[in-house]
Amino acid sequence: MSAVPLYEQIARHVTAAIASGDLAPGDRIPAGRYLAEDWGIGYSTVMHAMTVLQDRGILVATQGKGTFVAEPSGG
């Protein structure tokens, strides 16, 4: 069993998918319930991970539209 909490493992997985180009800025993330079912984990765990990623500026949620990969900030 990993010492890293499951929600953090999910956050790292999504971050890695973005870094590798599997997910691009503007891509829509599937609904939390779908991800929970697909990954065989609890919905609340998926939502915790999505909230963490939003707090980190990696994802952006838009009410009624979904959750999307954030555009990179200018640097």
At 74 the pLDDT is 60
Q: Which run of H or E residues covers position 1?
A: none
Distance (Å, whole) CA 5 – CA 18: 20
Q: Which run of H or E residues covers position 14?
A: helix 6-20
Per-residue pLDDT tens digits for 22-47: 999 999 999 999 999 999 999 999 99
Residue 73 pLDDT grade (very low, low, confident, very high; cuts 50, 70, 90): confident
| Residue 75 confidence (pLDDT) above 80 | no
Domain ranges of the chain: 25-70
For the entire predicted model, the pTM comes to: 0.88
Q: Which CATH architecture has domain 25-70?
A: Orthogonal Bundle (1.10)
Backbone phi, then psi, for 54, in 5-degree steps?
-65, -45
At 37 the pLDDT is 97
